[in-house]
């Protein structure tokens, strides 16, 4: 576990195991979505990354993120907002990078779409 405090918009390597059914598995990058000012518990709301696939382009719950020098990703990836999870900081392994403000806003808009807000 890292001693750093994960912050909104950062990309971290997170351990998603154990899982059940179709939940996303294993250690993988995830973006922190929860506000830095919310909560006294060591829980952060995250959305995991998965490998990008062309058919994801039509899904409202996937956001494509290409690797760059700031986000810590090594290949084209997709944030899967249907797999949002509250994760304890004990599951956070290390910080990989930071998403741009524009990408973070796109992800948050997708979260709004899947919960039909407003």
Tens digits of per-residue pLDDT, 5-44?
Answer: 999 999 999 999 999 999 999 999 999 999 999 878 899 9
DSSP assignment of 70-111, as one string? TT--SS-EEEEGGG-EEEEGGGEEEEEEE--HHHHHHHHHHH
pLDDT confidence tier of residue 93, bands split at 50, 70 and 90: very high
Write the pLDDT tens digit of every residue in 51-75. 999 999 999 999 999 999 999 999 9
- The backbone torsions φ and ψ at residue 34, rounded to the nearest 5 degrees and listed phi first, read -70, 150
CA distance 84 to 19: 13
Q: Please state the pTM of the whole predicted model.
A: 0.95
| pLDDT over 90, % of the chain | 92
């Amino acid at each position: 576990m890292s001693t750093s405090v994960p912050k909104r918009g950062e990309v971290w390597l997170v351990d998603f195991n154990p899982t059940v059914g179709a939940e996303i598995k294993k250690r993988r990058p995830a973006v922190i979505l929860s506000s830095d000012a919310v909560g006294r518990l060591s829980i952060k709301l995250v959305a995991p990354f998965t490998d990008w696939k062309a058919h994801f382009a039509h899904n409202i719950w996937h956001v494509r993120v290409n690797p760059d020098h700031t986000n810590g990703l090594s290949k084209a990836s997709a944030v899967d907002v249907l797999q949002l999870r509250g994760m304890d900081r004990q599951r956070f392994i290390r910080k990989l990078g930071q998403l741009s403000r524009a990408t973070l806003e796109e992800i948050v808009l997708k979260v709004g779409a899947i919960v039909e807000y407003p």
